[in-house]
Amino acid sequence: MGLVFAAAFFSGVSAQETKFNFHETSENRAVANIDVSNLSDYVLEERLFGNFSENLGRNIYGGFWAQIFENPSLEPAAVCHPWKGYGRHEIVEIKRLTKEQVFERGDEKIIAYHWFRWNGSKSAYRLLEDAHNTSYSQAINVSELPQATEAVGIRQQIFLPIHRETQYELSFFVKDATAPIVAQIMDVLPSKKVFGKIAFNPLQSQNWQKISVVMELKISKKMSGRPLWFCIGIAAPGRAQIDQITLFPKDAVDGFDPEVVALLKAQGVSILRFPGGNYVSGYHWKEDLCPLDKRLTKPNPAWVQIDPRHVATDEYIRLCRLIGAEPLICVNAGNGTAQEAADWIEYCNGSAESRWGSIRAALGNPEPYNVRVWEIGNELWGDWQIGYCTPKEYARRYREFYTAMNAVDPTLYFLACGDHNSLQPDWNETLIQECPDILRSLTLHFLCSNNTLGSAEYAYLSQMAYSWLFEDFFRRVHNLGKERGLDFKIALTEEMIYNHSFWQPRPETLAEALFFAGTLNSIIRTEGMVDIFTHSAIINHGGNMTKERGLICLNPVYYAIQELRKLSGARPAAFTLDCPFSEIPEWQPEWAGAQPQKFPLVDIMPLVKDGGLHIIIINRSPDKIMDMTLNIIGGNYEKKYTFFELTGKSINAMNEIHHPNRVKPVVKKGKMRQENQVRLPSIPPAALLVLKLAGR
């Protein structure tokens, strides 16, 4: 027997004082002694199985929000994100697919961003500062149709969920139309086959009129994942102004992608964080208190992309209700105000007779939302954050925000912004010192990278070590308060692998599933110090799901969260585990502290629920099959058992939209040969197992 580690190895807790002990062995096998008569008082909390959403990349738009178009309000690039030029990659890709030159110099001044000319010359287009939504509308003026063309207008490349839906709800605003308007969806390839088409008579009114229609496509499901053109314009000499154009699949659920809604509900997401993330530090919720068609497109305050503002407070709450998740709102403590945050609480929780509650009711939501968990600021210790500040300044802001928000409802649970990475070493200490009377919970974020040029295995072992080292860091942060008589909790509100090199493990890979499970085991071993965990993120950011070309695939971590979510309400049992250890890679973040030089390649967590024993088992080894024996003390269980197994061909195994089942769990069966002893002789490398024994 080699090194002995208590689960609380850095925090002054000896192996005799903890229920969870790891012993190093030189053999490539693991032996666990599990004492189910020695249960923790801690009960695994539902809030540890949360998720996170932010207007970042295609997490919301192009992700779980079902609306198809980019830039639906038809703004120029200067409005969408004035600090960046036109999207050249998109133009090159469209030209590669269509063999067409869809963009010419100067088009960005006359045609809406992300939209391209359809048959017209430059003289046909103008962007007018006369809009139904935001600042501009698209004007089309044609004196003569080009030869062999049926219409002149604008178009956008789109991907539709043809595999499940062929009907699409088109809506747009029009004015001053002196020629028939036509809209169609067609193949981008040279055949230009038209799959659906509608036409409208001229509408010569000088007032904006809304047109809504369902487009029925005659299209094969084989076209799923294929690019299409959506085109809209005028079909005769004349003119028209068009604005605020949206396209939703007819099966959208309150505006959301029905597949994503069903998958999140099936996953059991318990709590959903919104609206950020870096985005929240420049987000002002009152700007969206209007119907969707009047929400103003803005530059995203944190990320270089369009912000159409379709998903705001009401939509977010609707999503929470659809999937059965508790809402967690993070307020803007960057360039926002305490009064703004307090008003947000009244909007969400106030009666229909209150000032802000009455506005909520007028927008069709008379019943209060009853949002109980509020996070005050996001990563304000980092200089990438709008309104980032010193520790002293954040402590001042936290007290100001807490006081204003608590005055609205003193029963709410407030999370303070903590620092995990020592960018400002005295951040947490200052907050504890300045606000001991109002500190209830401290948030931490771990986007764990290993930005060396090392191998995939080197980066992977770093990530696996992080998930093991988390426990000690949680204890050290918690002890900062304990030394001052405080018992605040920790909320892990963002977490994922964050490697940038394509050959290293990323959130879409099997490694993320093992990283999540290892993090959860570390959380459980703290026995209640961490009470909220919102993994990053719903879709197209972090792990969980990927949506590309209108198709969705599940990433390995989706399955891990879904399975482990079933264990909420369970109590951990004491154990001793003998297993091989690995050297911890030299490159480690500062938060890791004076870490030991090794970490266990096998991790377990036995949990008792409803009379049964459930054992989380992780084989972290990237290349070794593990022989494991589980000796169960103090319980009486059926000899037959089942186990969930999630593994793949390598640590970088991942699913893709056209190969969605490369990494998928299987449920296997086994039988104990000896009373209360389970033998698992060949646990695959890089594998997550959840063993289930029924009591008798």
Listing DSSP states for 481-495 in one string gives: HHTTT---EEEEEEE
Q: Which residue has the tokens 């570390």?
A: 522
Concatenating the DSSP letter of every residue in 353-387 gives: TSHHHHHHHHTT--S-----EEEE-S-TTSTTSTT
**CATH number 3.30.420.10 is the correct assignment for the domain at 4-45+572-695:** no
Residues 6+ apart with CB under 8 A from 224: 161, 162, 163, 549, 550, 551
Question: What is the predicted pLDDT for the residue at 453?
Answer: 62
> What per-residue confidence (pLDDT) applies to 502?
81
Distance CA 332, CA 279 (A): 9
Q: Which residue has the tokens 């319980």?
A: 635
Kindly give the pairing relationship between strand 612-619 and strand 687-695: antiparallel
How far, in Å, are 212, 220, 234, 256, 386 from residue 216 at the CA level?
A: 13, 12, 20, 20, 45
Contacts (Cβ under 8 Å, ≥6 apart) of 501: 451, 453, 459
CA angle 451, 419, 345 (to 5 degrees): 125
Are the CB atoms for 384 and 279 separated by under 8 Å?
Answer: no
Paired tokens of 657:
């939209």
Where are the domains positioned within the chain? 4-45+572-695, 77-249
Classify burial at 281, counting beta carbons within 10 Å of its beta carbon; exposed 0-12, middle 13-18, buried 19 or more. Answer: buried
Whole-Å CA distances, 283 to 275, 341, 381:
8, 11, 18
Give the pair of three-digit tokens for residue 182: 């036509």
Question: Omega of the bond prior to 275 within 30 degrees of 0, cis?
Answer: yes
Are the beta carbons of 550 and 162 closer than 8 angstroms?
A: yes
Distance, in Å, from the CA atom of 401 to the CA atom of 594, rounded to the nearest integer, reads 35
Q: Which helix or strand (DSSP H or E) is residue 477 part of? A: helix 456-482
**Nearest CA among 30, 108, 143 for reference residue 689:** 30
d(CA 483, CA 103): 64
Q: CA–CA separation, 638 vs 80, rounded Å?
A: 62
Per-residue CA distances from 319 to 66, 247, 257, 265, 312 (Å): 12, 19, 10, 10, 11
| Residue 383 burial (10 A CB sphere; 0-12, 13-18, 19+) | exposed
Q: SS3 of 261, please?
A: helix
**Low-confidence residues of the chain, pLDDT below 70?**
1-17, 82-93, 96-97, 99, 421-425, 450-453, 587-596
Place of tokens 């909007």: 347
Q: What is the dihedral of CA 25, 27, 29, 35, to 10 degrees?
A: -30
CATH 2.60.120.260 fits 77-249, yes or no: yes
Q: CB-based contacts of 502: which residues, under 8 Å, 6+ apart? A: none
What is the Cα 597 distance to its own chain's centre? 33
What is the distance between the alpha carbons of residues 166 and 214, in angstroms, rounded to a whole number?
Answer: 10
3-state secondary structure (DSSP) of residue 409: coil
| Separation of alpha carbons 568 and 520, rounded Å | 11
Give the pLDDT confidence score for residue 420 in this predicted structure. Answer: 83
